[in-house]
A = this chain, B = another copy of it.
């Protein structure tokens, strides 16, 4: 399929898809006309990256995550340790998002309208030390 369709299906702009090819995240076939030809599996990779990027993973982290799928030549233990590390990170992110959620919903519920000099909820959130 052409890049336009792949863009539609992955949720990524064509520009970005070409960029990802540039930096080696995927390597679609080329038709006789020189057009890129994306497989369903390419689209899966792209969607995966689209999600991960939106969740604060860097491109190089995405590369690592993708490598978990491309590990035919890789040691199983190696894959497992990377994946496990990512799982920890994901759990941390989930916890942080929940924290953020709490702050915002408290803000909506309690802090609307009056001129609050310093909302205690912010203090609470900010008080939690960052996961090292």
Contact = CB atoms under 8 A, between A and B. Distances in A.
A119 interface: yes
A15 interface: no
A98 B94 contact: yes
Interface of A: 11, 41, 43-44, 47-48, 50-56, 65, 68-69, 72, 76, 79-80, 83-84, 86-87, 90-91, 93-94, 96-101, 104-105, 107-108, 112-113, 115, 118-119, 122-123, 125-126, 130
A104 B87 contact: yes
Identical subunits present: 2
A55 B126 contact: no
A90 B97 contact: yes
A112 B79 CA distance: 8
